[in-house]
């Protein structure tokens, strides 16, 4: 599926997709730190996070099992890419598409069908809101994770919104009633302004302790009615 100049496809278990996801995450960490939002995900690179590559591969395997056979967790990893029209040696992650064209990987996201992120679903203070989400007429889609590859510069500009619009259309095509996600409350708060500008409305705020990295993470669940 294509939204504007971006093309979207399901993630696979290839080394290209694993690299693309990890490089995009690392580039996002650098961007967040530069813009005063480093506390959102911390500053440790994927190389410094034990088992991160294995976790990415596992996510892609789960996504593939759900997409192809409807088995297991309803997780879908989506890759965003753009046609490569240059011969630049810029270190960006590329793949050869089925039609023989070269595609630059510029972003990715992880979505759940009728399922919430664990840190929301299992939160003891959020059960009334969780029940409300689960009772959405027609079901719902939840964006668990979304990153742009900031190494790509202008090539990746706008990919975040394009991925959200892709998710919105994906949910609509399946008769779902809403699109949900959660966002960090902190730093410059521009992330909240960004989602609200796209039409998302606040559902509930929450706080939880990060088990792996420590510290408190303040978040907000958002809803986009479809």
CA-CA distance, 38 to 71, in Å (whole number)?
36
* pTM of structure: 0.93
- Mean pLDDT (10-residue bins), the chain, 226 residues: 80 96 97 92 92 96 93 95 86 94 97 96 95 97 97 95 97 98 93 97 92 81 98
Query: What pLDDT does residue 211 have?
Result: 72
What is the per-residue DSSP string for 204-215? EEEEEE-TTT-S
Domains along the chain with CATH numbers: 6-225 (3.40.630.30)
Q: 10 Å Cβ neighbour count for 100?
A: 6
């Amino acid at each position: 599926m294509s939204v504007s100049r971006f093309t979207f496809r399901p993630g696979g278990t290839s080394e290209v997709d694993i690299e693309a996801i990890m490089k995009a995450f690392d580039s996002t960490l650098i961007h967040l730190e530069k813009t005063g939002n480093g506390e959102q995900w911390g500053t440790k690179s994927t190389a410094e996070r034990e088992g991160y590559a294995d976790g990415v591969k596992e996510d892609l395997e789960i996504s593939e099992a759900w997409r192809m056979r409807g088995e297991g967790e309803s997780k879908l990893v989506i890759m965003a890419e753009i046609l490569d029209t240059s011969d630049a040696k810029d270190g960006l992650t590329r793949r050869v598409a089925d039609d023989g064209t070269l595609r630059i990987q510029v972003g990715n996201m992880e979505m759940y069908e009728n399922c919430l992120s664990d840190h929301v679903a299992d939160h003891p203070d959020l059960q009334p809101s969780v029940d409300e989400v689960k009772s959405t007429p027609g079901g719902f889609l939840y964006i668990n994770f979304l990153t742009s590859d900031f190494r790509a510069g202008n090539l990746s500009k706008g990919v975040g919104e394009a991925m959200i619009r892709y998710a919105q259309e994906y949910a609509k095509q399946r008769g779902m009633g809403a699109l949900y996600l959660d966002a960090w409350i902190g730093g410059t708060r521009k992330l909240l302004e960004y989602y609200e500008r796209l039409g998302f409305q606040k559902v509930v705020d929450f706080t939880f302790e990060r088990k792996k990295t420590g510290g408190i993470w303040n978040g907000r669940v958002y809803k986009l009615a479809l």
